[in-house]
Amino acid sequence: MKGILVVGHGSRSKEAFEVFNRVLDNFRLKVEENVEGCFMELCPPNIPDTIDVMYKNGTRDIVVVPYFLFSGIHIKEDVPGILKEIKAKYGDLKITLARPIGYNNIIADILKENAEGELTCI
């Protein structure tokens, strides 16, 4: 069985957690695979625990999708390091890592919408 794991950075902010879960809920409506979400650090659930659950539920092919804007140190080293440790634990588990959000024309639309939307005076 194939699954998708969306990995966010993690935050202590309740609002960040809620937004992440709203994104996951919307993403689930767009794909047929089982979608789970977790965080690299700062809050649960973490990557190893979430993959353990996915594996126990029969998932043997996981596409890890970073909910990160750029391919920084977390995407180049930290997340792959965690995934390699998990792969060593489960020999029959296929794990692939997708690219982070990066550049997409939609980003400019989001920035425009935010600039024209509700603003906070400083």
The encoded tokens of residue 78 equal 């930290």
What 3-state DSSP class applies to 94? strand
d(CA 46, CA 50): 6
* Residues designated catalytic: 9
Express the helix, strand and coil content of the chain in percent, nearest 5 each: 45, 20, 35
Beta strands in the chain (DSSP E): 2-8, 34-39, 61-66, 94-97
